[in-house]
């Protein structure tokens, strides 16, 4: 009975050590995350193997696992840039990105967890300054917004594509011009719109006048052709037909007196 405590102490000590080792060795990778393994005695960051995926993993207790979010992320950036004529423009952009999963080890080894601050944000700022510097404030304010957004995306992608970062989209959310410049552009755009509306009214009026001239000319030509085709014989026949229709109408009272110069009777009637 006296030997039992002496045997139990090593067992308890061993169990405690095992529990500590297991707790240090157990790593759980959450949803949308991946782990980069660092081998303390095995060459440092593992770059020639896929990163640890979601779920439970056991690693040696002297090694470390650095967890990264690998799903799409968003970062907002506000910056001051210069237009082509040197005016200060405030630009607000949103960047959609995610780390390159297959090269997550290299990203950690070369850029660390601060890759957004060290690579992505400097790249978007440089691209924005380069692109905006090619446009005037008026272009930035109105017609070139989509083109500017696409150009910033392309230039940023060129910066980061070999930095183990996957760039998905760049959205230009807002472009703020100096108030005086903005007011001047709005006045100019309003004047241009009014000028276009005036030109449209002139064109419409001109087309309407041409239409009326064509209609009048058509009526004149029709009357001239009709007058040329009418003869005394045709007029006499038409008169006879009209007289017969009046005589047959049950709703008409007809009085026939004498005859006209063409031999037709003179008809007086009412309804």
Per-residue pLDDT reduced to its tens digit, 137-185: 777 776 677 888 899 999 999 999 899 999 999 998 888 876 666 566 6
**How much of the chain, in percent, has pLDDT values that exceed 90?**
27
pLDDT band at 1 (very low <50, low <70, confident <90, very high): very low
Two structure tokens written together for 127: 């691209």
pLDDT tens sequence across 99-118: 999 999 999 999 999 999 99
Mean pLDDT in residue range 220-228: 72
Q: What integer pLDDT is reported at residue 119 of this predicted model? A: 94
Highest mean pLDDT among 157-171, 180-194, 202-216, 232-246: 157-171
- For 59, phi then psi, to 5°, come to -130, 160
Instruction: State pTM to two decimals.
Output: 0.60
d(CA 165, CA 163): 6
- Domain ranges in the chain? 3-69, 73-177, 232-270
Q: What integer pLDDT is reported at residue 104 of this predicted model? A: 94
- The distance in angstroms from the start CA to the end CA of the chain is 143
Q: What integer pLDDT is reported at residue 143 of this predicted model? A: 64
Highest mean pLDDT among 49-58, 152-161, 246-255: 152-161
Cβ atoms within 10 Å, residue 225? 9
Say which CATH superfamily domain 73-177 falls into: Band 7 domain (3.30.479.30)
d(CA 100, CA 120): 13
Q: Is the alpha carbon torsion for 249, 254, 260, 263 positive or negative?
A: positive
pLDDT band at 271 (very low <50, low <70, confident <90, very high): very low
Two structure tokens written together for 270: 């009412």
**How much of the chain, in percent, has pLDDT values that exceed 70?**
65
């Amino acid at each position: 009975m006296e030997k039992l405590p002496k045997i139990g102490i090593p067992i308890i000590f061993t169990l405690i050590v095992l529990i500590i080792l297991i707790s240090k060795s157990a790593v759980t990778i959450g949803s949308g995350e991946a782990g980069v393994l660092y081998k303390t005695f095995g060459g440092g960051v593992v770059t020639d193997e896929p990163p640890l995926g979601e779920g439970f993993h056991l690693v040696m207790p002297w090694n470390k696992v650095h967890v990264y979010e690998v799903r799409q992320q968003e970062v907002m950036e506000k910056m001051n840039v210069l237009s082509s004529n040197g005016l200060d423009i405030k630009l607000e952009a949103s960047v959609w990105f995610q780390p390159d999963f297959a090269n997550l080890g290299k990203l950690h080894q070369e850029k660390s967890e601060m890759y957004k601050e060290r690579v992505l944000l400097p790249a978007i700022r440089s691209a924005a300054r380069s692109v905006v510097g090619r446009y005037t404030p008026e272009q930035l304010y109105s017609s070139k917004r989509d083109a500017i957004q696409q150009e910033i995306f392309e230039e940023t992608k060129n910066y980061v594509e070999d930095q183990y970062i996957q760039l998905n989209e760049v959205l230009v959310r807002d472009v703020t011009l100096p108030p005086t410049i903005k007011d001047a552009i709005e006045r100019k755009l309003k004047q241009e719109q009014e000028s276009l509306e005036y030109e449209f009214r002139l064109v419409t009026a001109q087309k309407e006048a041409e239409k009326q001239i064509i209609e009048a000319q058509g009526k004149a030509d029709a009357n001239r052709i009709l007058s040329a085709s009418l003869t005394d014989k045709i007029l006499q026949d038409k008169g006879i037909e009209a007289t017969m229709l009046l005589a047959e109408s049950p709703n008409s009272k007809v009085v026939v007196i004498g005859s006209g110069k063409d031999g037709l009777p003179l008809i007086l009637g009412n309804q």
